[in-house]
Amino acid sequence: MPLLEPLKDSTVTSRPVREEGRSLWTQAWAKLRRMPTAWTCFWIIAALLLVSALSWLNVPLTPYSFDQTSGAILQGPSATHLMGTDELGRDLLSRIIYGTRLSILIGVVTAGIAFVIGTIYGSIAGYYGGKVDALMMRGVDVAYALPDLLIMILIGVLAGRETWGILVALGLVSWMGTSRLVRAQLLQLQSEEFIDAARAAGQSTFNVITRHLLPNAMGPVIVALTFTVPQAILSESTLSFIGLGLSPPACSWGTLASDGWRSLRTNPHLIFFPSLFIFVTVLSFNLLGDGLRDALDPRTRQH
């Protein structure tokens, strides 16, 4: 008889437990706050979003504007210019803060485009299944086969290297993973009893998808979006680095790093600080995504 006790305990603890009076999202948020690394990354991202918002509102965060020139040309970090100046005497910290709003905007909007297109596409494929699913997934396979960099370059050049063109280009190469994830989640949820009950109650297809299927599939999708943002920032930086990103006077961390590359040996601060911001932001989003994945995992909510 004692040999049966461990089997009984493991069976009970393997089931996701929902605490009385607390939603699963509330439990996930509480669990995330108990993860020091993910919680620190959350506040780093929140600070970057705040700086981006203040920059869009033209709130002065430094004594200099992003395009203000001075006699201090190619000056290293000092008490006057904390991150030095560029070849035109512009304060690098001010330009990095100005570039924050475009880099964060590109990451967030790209994730939004991927979420909208991928969720709609994956929902249709996952809900109807069969031939519709097979046909739509072959379309995703074709989209995956196209070289992302080539598509981004073509759209960016056709759009005249404008911000909206970069956003469209990045969005069009980022939605396939989201669509596959949504489709897989919906296929898994199709056999659940609450979906059968909703259909038996006469609810429309739209209501079944939007009110029952998608809310229960959003956990993994949200985690995936936290990885889409840094991917978009890196992709824009790559385009800027090869000279096909945003056109002046617009600047992002990628364009600043590209400009600093020419003075790598003589003035390494010009590429070091923009690259540092890219590194910290990408790392923060990735670590936050790992934390969200663990927090939203139903097998660990009860711990």
- Beta-carbon contacts of residue 116 (< 8 Å; ≥ 6 apart): none
**Residue 5: per-residue pLDDT:** 40
Backbone angles phi, psi at 91, to 5 degrees: -65, 120
Provide the residue-wise pLDDT of the chain in tens; the chain has 303 residues.
444 444 343 333 333 444 444 566 688 788 888 999 999 999 999 999 999 999 888 888 888 888 878 778 888 888 888 898 888 888 899 999 988 988 999 999 999 999 999 999 999 998 888 899 999 999 999 998 888 888 888 887 787 778 888 888 888 888 998 999 999 888 888 877 888 888 888 888 888 888 888 888 888 888 888 889 988 988 888 888 787 777 777 788 888 888 888 787 888 889 999 999 999 999 999 999 888 888 876 555 444
Q: Could you give the count of Cα atoms lying within 13 Å of 44 in the half-sphere of its Cβ?
A: 18
The third-level CATH classification (topology) of the domain covering 49-57+90-295 is: MetI-like fold (1.10.3720)
**Residue 141: per-residue pLDDT:** 92
Alpha-carbon distance 66 to 75, whole Å?
16
CB atoms within 10 A of CB 281: 23
Name the residue with tokens 């005249």: 160
- Residue spans per domain, the chain: 49-57+90-295
**Residue 42: per-residue pLDDT:** 93
